[in-house]
């Protein structure tokens, strides 16, 4: 038992040793008890010390290569990069410009005495894995990649080529434990020169309706990666799911889904069924013109025109004007002129009605009637934007 007591004194922290010694000297009748229960006390003390040590931990400010995050939403897809940002200037103040690529970041793959000691790519940042997360399936440089979070690695070559690697392992430290067998995707891109960048930075330098370009910039090198999203398919799948939930109880959800199909000229058969549901529940100008537009896009012109006329019966001046411009955009000039004339007949004092009618005749190529209506608009004290539009059209036609 003495051995257990001695072990207790050795493994305990310094303050515990002093405390027990004082107790033993001051209260000798406790010495026997200490010897008898020394081992249990030792275990309790070790447990207490472990818990106490954990409780001492406090949050300190981040230093060195600071963590960062950048997110871009395209359509219904979020792309998020989590990374740490090393500097060109080292911790001791040394400027490492021109010493990053091929020196600090080895060209190609490297072997390390740490980790798995294999052929390792660059961690594409600092500290832990740089990670990239896609909320939906995407294409990277034209290649399919499923939704999920990936470790992001790069092999940078002297000729400018960069192999970008998406690893199914996203929780390792840097690239030291990288395993090729865990690759989800590899793509090759070409780097290019850029303005000097002190802090390693990921940025979305381009973004469109169905794509984004993610670039890594550091020193004077930029590594761009094109990411494409199948926005239409994702939108349609979302519509189908939501119309089976709360979105399916009113007319607005069906109208929105149908109008999306019309605007993008996709999925017209299903879009028409959505439009018909919206009209059944609320046959207003919005739902009727959407249904008619889809029929028109499907080549069912006569049926579409009947519904357009139905929509125009109780439409406002502004709605009829919108309808006219829809036909003007479709180069159905006579139909556009019919609706513009309707507005002029309903309100002959509205300058905008004549300006729109002038646009209809100009689109058709009837210069004489176009000029007549633009000049009529100018006599009705039009608001500034209508006046400017009429004058610009008259100049274009050589009449001003």
pLDDT tens-place string over residues 23-35: 334 444 444 433 4
What pairing do the DSSP bridges indicate for beta strands 183-190 and 192-207? Answer: unpaired
Under the banding of pLDDT at 50, 70 and 90, the label for residue 131 is very high
Q: Six-digit token pair at 89? A: 């200037």
Report helix, strand or coil for 150.
strand
Q: What is the pLDDT of residue 147?
A: 97
DSSP calls for 37-90:
SHHHHHHHHHHHHHHHHHHT-------SSEEEEEEEEETTEEEEEEEEE-BSB-
Q: Are residues 288 and 205 in the same domain?
A: no
Do 215 and 239 have their domain in common?
no
Is the domain of 206 the same as that of 239? no
pLDDT > 80? residue 53: no
**Predicted local confidence at residue 314, as pLDDT:** 83
| Whole-number Å distance between alpha carbons of 242 and 254 | 10
Least confident of 13-22, 309-318, 326-335: 13-22
- Residue partners of 27: CB distance under 8 A and separation at least 6: none
Residue 50 domain-assigned (yes or no): yes
pLDDT of residue 317: 92
Q: How confident is the model at residue 19 (pLDDT cuts 50, 70, 90)?
A: very low
One domain, residues 284 and 207: no
Interval 337-365: pLDDT, tens: 999 999 999 999 999 999 999 999 999 99
CA 251 vs. chain centroid, Å, equals 29
Mean pLDDT over 106-130 rounds to 89
pLDDT(330) > 90: no
pLDDT confidence bin for 5, thresholds 50/70/90: very low
| Region of residue 121 (left: phi > 0; alpha: psi -120 to 50; beta: else) | beta
Average pLDDT of the segment spanning 95-101: 95
Model confidence at 17: pLDDT above 60: no
Query: What burial class does residue 3 get, using C-beta atoms within 10 Å of its C-beta: 0-12 exposed, 13-18 middle, 19+ buried?
Result: exposed
Q: Is the pLDDT of residue 101 over 80?
A: yes
Please check whether residues 196 and 310 belong to one and the same domain. no
> pLDDT band for position 226 (50/70/90)?
very high
Of residues 54 and 65, the one with the higher pLDDT is 65
Phi-psi region of 124 (alpha: psi -120 to 50; beta: other; left: phi over 0): left
Q: Is the pLDDT of residue 62 over 70?
A: no
Question: For 163, which DSSP code?
Answer: E
321 inside domain: yes
**Beta strand 161-167 with 148-156: parallel, antiparallel or unpaired?**
antiparallel
pLDDT the model gives residue 29? 43
Instruction: Please report the pLDDT score of residue 260 as a whole number.
Output: 97
Measured between alpha carbons, how far is 139 from 211 in angstroms, rounded to an integer? 9
Same domain, 143 and 280: no
Average pLDDT over residues 76-85: 97
How does residue 114 score in pLDDT terms, banded at 50, 70 and 90? confident
CATH number of the domain encompassing residue 265: 1.25.40.10
Do 164 and 129 belong to one domain?
yes
Yes or no: say if 351 and 320 are a contact pair by the CB < 8 Å rule. no
What is the total count of domains within the chain? Answer: 3
Residue 76 is predicted with a pLDDT of 94
Please indicate, yes or no, if residue 61 is contained in any of the structural domains.
no
- Provide CB contacts within 8 A for 141, sequence distance 6+: 164, 187, 188, 189, 225, 226
Q: pLDDT per residue over 232-252, tens digit each?
A: 999 999 999 999 999 999 999
Residues 297 and 221 in one domain: no
Residues 265, 390 share a domain: yes
Cross-strand partners of 82: 69, 131
pLDDT in tens, 255-313: 999 999 999 999 999 999 999 999 999 999 999 999 999 999 999 999 999 999 999 98
Measured CA to CA, the distance from residue 303 to residue 295 in angstroms comes to 7
Domain membership of residue 74 (yes or no) is yes
Residues 50 and 92 in one domain: no
Residue 60 located in a structural domain = no
324 within a domain of the structure (yes/no): yes
pLDDT score of 56:
63
Tokens representing 186 are 């590899």
**Whether residue 255 sits in one domain with residue 152:** no
Asked whether the beta carbons of 375 and 354 are under 8 A apart, the reply is: no
- Indicate the residue among 168, 202, 229 that finishes a domain: 229
| Spatial contact of 178 and 121, defined as CB atoms under 8 Å apart | yes
Helix axes 252-264, 285-297, angle to 10 degrees: 30
Among candidates 11, 103, 80, which has minimal Cα distance to 49? 11
* Shared domain check, 70 and 46: no
pLDDT at 46: 42
Query: Which band of pLDDT confidence, cut at 50, 70 and 90, is reported for residue 117?
Result: confident
Return the H-helix or E-strand segment holding 174: none
pLDDT at 3 over 60: no
Least confident of 128-132, 186-190, 311-315: 311-315
**In Å, what is the CA distance from 252 to each residue of 281, 292, 313, 326?**
9, 17, 21, 21
**Domain end position, chosen among 18, 36, 55:** 55
**Section 47-73 average pLDDT:** 70
- Please give the mean pLDDT across all residues of the chain: 87
Distances (CA, A) of 88 to 99, 165, 173, 201: 9, 24, 21, 12
Whole-number pLDDT of residue 112 = 81
pLDDT for residue 91: 84
188 lies in which domain range? 66-229
Residue with the bigger pLDDT between 115 and 36: it is 115
Is 343 a member of any domain? yes
């Amino acid at each position: 038992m003495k051995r257990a007591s001695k072990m207790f004194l050795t493994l305990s922290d310094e303050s515990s040793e002093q405390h027990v010694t004082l107790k033993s000297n001051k209260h000798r009748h406790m010495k026997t008890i200490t010897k008898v229960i020394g081992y249990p006390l030792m275990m309790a003390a070790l447990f207490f010390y472990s818990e106490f040590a954990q409780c001492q931990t406090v949050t300190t400010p981040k230093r060195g290569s600071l963590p960062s995050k950048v997110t871009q939403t395209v359509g219904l897809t979020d792309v998020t990069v989590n990374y740490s940002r090393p500097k060109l200037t080292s911790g001791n103040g040394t400027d490492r410009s021109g010493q990053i690529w091929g020196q600090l970041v080895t060209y190609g793959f490297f072997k390390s005495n740490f980790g798995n000691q294999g052929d390792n790519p660059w961690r594409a940042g600092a500290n832990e894995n740089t990670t990239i997360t896609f909320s939906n399936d995407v294409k990277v440089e034209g290649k399919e990649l499923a939704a999920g979070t990936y470790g992001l690695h790069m092999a940078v070559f002297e000729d400018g080529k960069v192999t970008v690697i998406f690893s199914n392992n996203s929780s390792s430290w840097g690239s030291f434990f990288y395993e090729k067998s865990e690759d989800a995707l590899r793509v090759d891109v070409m780097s290019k020169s850029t303005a000097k960048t002190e802090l390693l930075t990921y940025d979305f330098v381009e973004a469109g309706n169905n794509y984004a370009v993610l670039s890594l910039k550091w020193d004077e090198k930029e590594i761009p990666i094109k990411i494409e999203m199948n926005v239409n398919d994702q939108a349609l799948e979302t519509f189908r799911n939501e119309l089976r939930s709360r979105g399916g109880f009113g007319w607005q959800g069906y109208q929105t889904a149908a109008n999306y199909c019309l605007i993008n000229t996709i999925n017209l058969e299903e879009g028409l069924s959505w439009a018909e549901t919206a009209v059944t529940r609320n046959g207003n100008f919005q739902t009727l013109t959407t249904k008619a537009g889809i029929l028109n896009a499907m080549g069912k012109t006569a049926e579409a025109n009947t519904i357009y006329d139905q929509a125009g019966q109780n439409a406002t001046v502004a709605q009829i004007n919108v309808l006219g411009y829809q036909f003007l955009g479709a180069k159905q000039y006579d139909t556009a002129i019919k609706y513009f004339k309707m507005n002029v007949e309903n309100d002959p004092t509205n300058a905008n009605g004549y300006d729109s009618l002038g646009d209809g005749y100009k689109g058709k190529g009837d210069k004489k009637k176009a000029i007549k209506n633009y000049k009529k608009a100018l006599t009705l004290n039009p608001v500034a934007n209508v006046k400017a539009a009429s004058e610009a059209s008259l100049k274009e036609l050589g009449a001003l």
